[in-house]
Structure 1
Amino acid sequence: MGTALRTFEAAGGWPEVRELAAGLAELDEAVEFAVRWHGEQRRPAGEPYLEHLLEAVRVLVEGVGVTDVDVLRAAVLHDVVEDTGCTAAEVRERFGSRVAELVGWVTKDEPAGGRSKAEARAAYLDRLRHAPEDALVVKLADRLSNVQRLDTHPRPEKRRAYYRETLTTIVPLARAHPWFHAWYAAWAREFAYLDAPEG
């Protein structure tokens, strides 16, 4: 990896990412589905939402060497149930039960039963400790995309909170995955200033 933190970009869109490896053309339908559902959504720093989804795919293909099409489809679709009006049933009908299950593992539930949003989030992050390996690599790629340029997030307080949450809940999940473990270790060092006392 060298001294510089490796980042994964997808500003060139799906045509550019599709050229990375044989077999990625099998994701065309999933990308089209994600584009339709996410529409004009933007990430906090203003980039089109699709870039985040494609960054996760690049991480899995280029970083980890994933070739399993269902896992890559789940990476493309990982936020479609959580962040749009799409249902898990629609994902299952279109892409099968395995993709739907993987998407389900990385989808945060809405708070219910009197739980606060923070409590629901904590329960979701705790549940990830029991996720199957394929779902876990999707989550690790998702979070990698979210934090690789954490300094571009428009809210400083969110940067600090997200850094700490990643250290305490996501980094431990990466320990069994050498590539992710090494990447997150380098990331934690590069962004350690976010954990410094304020003032």
Structure 2
Amino acid sequence: MAPRMLLSMPLHAITEVFGEAGLRDRFNLEIESLPDGDRRQLEDALELASQLHADDRRVREPYLNHLLRVAIRIVRYYGIQDVDVLTAALLHDAVEDHPAELAGLSPALGHQKLTDAALEELARRYNPRVAGLVSAVTNPEYDPGRDRHEQYRTHVADSLEHDPWARVIKVSDFTDNGLGVIHTTDDKARSSAIKYRPLVPKLRELVRRPDTPLSQAVKDHILDQLDLAEERFAAILDG
């Protein structure tokens, strides 16, 4: 595939036609103009994400595809070349899904100890800012006595309140999950719509804030994407 054609393709089209290899090629094209040190950090983060999520799947695809799309969207469509933000985007599920492997510790240690150790490892391997960004988008251990989706939405609102750069990662993550409901099975689409639909108004409000570090054109683009995601949720749940 010619680079110019690959750069022009929507991310889910690359996924359907070329799979993980195509998304890797697209990511490399997106970061090729970055300084050598930034590229090395991102290559290392992608390798780490590949190792941690090697056996993970998202219904029909390797989990790594989701992480690649989240990072590519940030650099291409949001115009962000901040290496720490892109590193955190690639690793945004690492602490939540694989804290023991990341920290090199026994899973028997317990959730909070493993989470803290995994974040410390990210700070050591990269820097505290990367660890802080990943922490902001990492879901806590849920109280089994309360509604799981409600706890998720409360956590997202609270964690993004004072972390504008984490909003960038979460919005790209949400866009991939929300718009991506048409690329998955009926059961997964319905469960995703139930989980994500009530979060749309809060994300709109966060995106519109003056301290969210995105241009107005990008904010408008994201707001359009949120509208489209909401339409898809409605079609699934109300149609």
Would you call these one fold, judging by a TM-score over 0.5? yes
Matched, 1:133 2:164: yes
The residue aligned with 1:170 is: 203
* Deviates further, 156-165 or 92-101: 156-165
Contact 1:105 1:131 survives alignment (8 Å): no
For 2:168, the aligned partner's letter is V
The residue aligned with 1:194 is: 233
Shift, 1:129, TM fit: 4.0
Matched, 1:31 2:43: no
**Partner deviation per Cα, 1:100-156 (whole Å, 9 max, x = no partner):** 000000000012596553443133122134132111111111111112222223214
Match of 2:30 among 20, 42, 59: 20
The residue aligned with 1:47 is: 61
Q: Distance in 2 between matches of 1:56 and 1:193?
A: 19
**Partner deviation per Cα, 1:13-71 (whole Å, 9 max, x = no partner):** 32331112312633100000111111120113x21111111111111111111111011
Q: Where in structure 2 are the equivalents of 1:144-159 lying within 5 Å?
A: 144-154=175-185, 155=187, 156-159=189-192
How many residue pairs match? The answer is 193
Match of 2:78 among 42, 64, 82: 64
Match of 2:131 among 79, 90, 100: 100
Quote the RMSD (CA, aligned, Å).
Answer: 2.6
Shift, 1:157, TM fit: 2.5
Percent identity at matched positions? 28
SS of the residue corresponding to residue 58 of structure 2 reads: coil
Q: Larger relative contact order (C-alpha < 8 A, sep ≥ 6)? A: 1
Which consecutive segments of 4 or more residues in structure 1 shift more than 4 A?
112-116
TM-score normalised by the chain length of structure 1: 0.83
The residue aligned with 2:193 is: 160
